[in-house]
Structure 1
Amino acid sequence: MYYYQLYESPIGTLTLVSKKDKLTNLFLTTELFDSFRLGKKVVHDQEQKCDVLRSAILQLHEYFHGDRKEFEMPMELDGTDFQIKVWKKLRDIPFGKVYSYQDIAVAIGQKKAVRAIGQANKANKLPIFIPCHRVIGKNKKLTGYAGTKIELKATLLTHEKIPFNE
């Protein structure tokens, strides 16, 4: 069974989902959450009993208000071995810094896997917590984020005071 909570953030309504004691998803749009919940047992945690959801919301609140730079959250990483390797490397990118897709490919020892890095970022189920928004093109240009949500990437980078080319 999955549990969810909504969080009204500066970038819109976010939906956080947990299973047991781990955060599994962060949806940037309600449409994506609606697709996820089809055919699954998903219950709204109205009484805020789920510790991991309560902690995730608190940490997001702190992040958006400038009081948090790193997330400490038990997460369920559901992906291929390659995706999980990429996501773990993304968590090493410090607040206020960016890496290129090429930087990530080199860091995981697969320098020719630049496109695959982009696909792993796209498959990231925990954006912000796993900061795929901190990955940009070599030329400092923004590329896709959460599918077609490039404006969210720009907003998150601006929040972290990271310069980029439009």
Structure 2
Amino acid sequence: MNRFYLLAASLVPLLGATRTLSEGAAIGVCAVLMCALHQLSMAALRQRLATWAYMLASILLLAALSSCLQLALRAWLLPLALALGHYPALLCLQCLATDHLLPNQGRWRLLARHLCALLATCLLLGACRQWLADVASLHLASLAPGALLLLGLLLALYNRLRPGSTHPRRQGTH
């Protein structure tokens, strides 16, 4: 399996569990918490284990973390846990993708930037979907395909507003 398939599969919780701002905040906090705990726990094992043993330990730790997260949500926030469904368990894929895609050099700074961007994306996507569904009466925004379209529009807006590395006059010339 290619590592970019893991990255694409990690979009599932982001798109499925951000129907409202509260759900977006909850799944964002869960994702930040799981990724941070996973990276902190696996930091000591990264140099000591072989590749296959490290992967097995990572998967076992993620299973334990997601089980504890599901139990904590059901114990303290049952209505939110029912609204999120099984999406918090799918955050394991995002943690695996993060672990494989992060370089060894500057790992913690890049992880902090990634987790902040993930939380901001969850909040923004949840707020936009809730506003479009409630205020603008656009039912598609509350469904997963609408979330995918909205995420694409938000990424296009981000790319348009972000200053590029090349000057516009140099684009397209040889």
Tell me, yes or no, whether TM beats 0.5: no
Higher helix share: 2
Q: Quick check: which has more Rg, 1 or 2?
A: 2
Higher strand share: 1
TM-score, normalisation: structure 1: 0.26
TM-score, normalisation: structure 2: 0.25
